[in-house]
Structure 1
Amino acid sequence: MGETATRRSSAQVREAALVAAGAVFAERGFAGARTREIAQRAGLTEKTLFRHFPSKVDLFHAAVFEPFRKVAEAFLAEFERRAQLNLDGETLAYDYVSGLYRFLRDNRANILTLLAAYAHDPEVFGVRRPGSLGQMLDELMAAVEQGVAERGRSAVRPRSVVRLTFGMVLSAAVTNPLLLGEDEDDEPEVIGELVEYVIAGVLHREPRCGT
């Protein structure tokens, strides 16, 4: 295996390690994954693996969290762009919920791996790292807050709205096969119901006094 590794460039070795790590983390979760198995699948020695990634946490972030972060940032950029188009509240709510649902659905495997890692050790999830999920939610919250305020609903609490809505859509998108079955024809109905919840809870809610 060491000889195989020497025939590859550093970039090729790193890519092989990331592919192998992504597969092992998806199969076994963070706690069950072993760096020895990852190295074997990548055709590397553990020593070579650790030369590129000093710890299993670093490898997890590079193989699982970073790809998720990149697609999440693309989703966020598109939502922010749509939020600036002066769309009506119901259209913006549909854009947010439907886009978030499809993003979470398409990245279900990575998300389940991330959630399992968080259950094992919250620090693995990147809570205090740049680009963490918490930071992404803060950025999304700012975009929603701006959109809500522009529609005269500044009393609605964007922090709670974003996080609770995210949790609701996350649950529906990631656990949909378990809760609702595998029928993809039901997806428009699921998204429609989620949108109705958001519209009723945010756009049609009276502001609280003193908030």
Structure 2
Amino acid sequence: MELTVFGATGGIGREIVRQALDAGHGVTAVVRDPARLDAGGPRLKVFPADLSDPDALRPAVAGRDAVLSGLGARRKADAGVAARLTRVVLAAMEAEEVRRLLVVSAAPLGAPAGRDPLPDRAMTALVGAVLKDVYTDLRAMEEALARSAADWTAVRPPRLVDRPLTGRYRTAVGANPRSARVIGRADVAHAMLAMTADPATVGRGVGVAY
């Protein structure tokens, strides 16, 4: 496949690029600073952009089989960037008639698959209160996806950690796995690549967790 990756220098985006190249896909990495992206061989194209102009992004998405986005707030002060930047990506995709889009959201936006134990529910409530603005931003992003013509999937991980790729995790379409507490960024990237060609995930939020 030919893929475009936004947020390619972030924790998940970098893993998407690496794993996609390892799998033999062609990758266009959209980045603000190309110097932050490791060399990736002849199948990697680096596309510098500041993500402010949909028209400027059209060459980055034209003719691609799918677009994967790791865009989002890296700290509370960044709340608002996920919805704003995703709208720009959606506009560029619509102009080029590219439909498949996968984005990173967060577990608190999904419903639990079953009744979680009380400690898990209490922790979810606490994190939701502390990161309220970040989750409001992600909710606005998902609302923009739902209004769009894209074949979108919102991948909803719980707390992210840096761990080696395992390929062993749980997923739940339209919900969160029970007691979803943590997942490695490399496995989120793995899940997103696996879902790219999965029609069951189109137009849905998908929970992922160990």
Query: What TM bracket, shorter-length normalisation?
Result: 0.3 to 0.5
Structure with max Cα Rg: 1
TM-score for both structures, normalised by structure 2: 0.33
TM-score for both structures, normalised by structure 1: 0.33
Decide which structure has greater helix share.
1
Decide which structure has greater strand share.
2
